[in-house]
Structure 1
């Protein structure tokens, strides 16, 4: 079974839902890799950019380091979690029955297919990783109510629930799911059935606009 890529949004940091999701994912039997958001660590980088005058490119690199920082926070929350910097690290974790928590700065440093811009958030980086490991599905966990009537990707981009570079970063064969706090009640049973919590995102409308 191909691993599921799960991005735990930095917006969940410090909330009850953060630990609930961590407990559920730590107990999952299907192979998965956990991608941390940047959270408050990335917010601080954004807030200090104007006072310190650094470029968007430098801010992008620092924001990825912020993901590393939140990843280290998450990795301490379960004995099954293992900080992982490379695909080899992930494979070793899966083989040992553990859950890798991706620290992205090593794999993404200097990658020519990653735009160094605030447009690229941990959403797009999770999609990039999904493509690198051939994942069939990507789950984005958000601290926001997900309206089942608004599951088109272009609507999610317009509402700023996902970044606007995600449609380009996401592989055509990767299914995209979105989950919020309302998905927690059924998530354990869904994961136990080796399925993906949350709601499937419809991509066709935006792909037509982009000419994909």
Structure 2
């Protein structure tokens, strides 16, 4: 398995679509994409500085930021499979697909 992080710095780059297409075509059964947070996470940082809410809220919001970027990538390349658990990642790979990890399972009710 190859893990490919696609950082938020590519979220405004026209090359993003090409990278996603290339990974979908060549990486079936072997690639898991980890999305960055990009502008979505930058907004969380901005709001936390402004409103001074706790790190637990910011942590959960940043995971949602990564999820938003994952949804955007899947919207650009619908053949990619959103996967929120290890079992879903493995199923996508077994089916010869490329998974995009959706990290919502890491959200917390309390700091740990």
Tell me whether the two structures share a fold, i.e. TM-score over 0.5. Answer: yes
The answer to whether residue 90 in structure 2 is matched with residue 102 in structure 1 is no
Query: Deviation of residue 29 (structure 1)?
Result: 3.9
Q: Distance in 1 between matches of 2:57 and 2:9?
A: 22
Q: Which residue in the other structure is 2:38 paired with?
A: 39
Query: Deviation of residue 43 (structure 1)?
Result: 0.6
TM-score, normalised to structure 2, is: 0.87
Aligned length: 109
Q: Distance in 1 between matches of 2:27 and 2:43?
A: 35
Instruction: List gaps (5 residues or longer) in structure 1.
Output: 117-212
TM-score, normalised to structure 1, is: 0.48
For the structure 1 residues 97 and 60, does the alpha-carbon distance in structure 2 shift closer, same or farther, using more than 3 Å as the test?
same
Q: Which residue in the other structure is 1:10 paired with?
A: 8
Query: Deviation of residue 77 (structure 1)?
Result: 1.9
Pick the structure with greater CA Rg.
1
Structure 1 outlier segments of 4+, above 4 Å: none
For the 8 Å contact 2:6–2:34, the answer to whether it is kept is yes
Query: Which SS does the other structure have where 2:33 is aligned?
Result: strand
Q: Deviations over 1:127-170 (max 9, x none)?
A: xxxxxxxxxxxxxxxxxxxxxxxxxxxxxxxxxxxxxxxxxxxx
For the structure 1 residues 29 and 59, does the alpha-carbon distance in structure 2 shift closer, same or farther, using more than 3 Å as the test?
closer
Q: How does 1:26-175 map to 2 (within 5 A)?
A: 26-29=24-27, 31-106=30-105, 108-110=106-108
For the 8 Å contact 2:7–2:35, the answer to whether it is kept is yes
Query: Which SS does the other structure have where 2:58 is aligned?
Result: helix
Q: Distance in 2 between matches of 1:33 and 1:21?
A: 13
Query: Deviation of residue 42 (structure 1)?
Result: 0.4
For the structure 1 residues 75 and 9, does the alpha-carbon distance in structure 2 shift closer, same or farther, using more than 3 Å as the test?
same
Instruction: List gaps (5 residues or longer) in structure 2.
Output: none
Query: Which SS does the other structure have where 2:76 is aligned?
Result: coil
Query: Deviation of residue 93 (structure 1)?
Result: 0.8
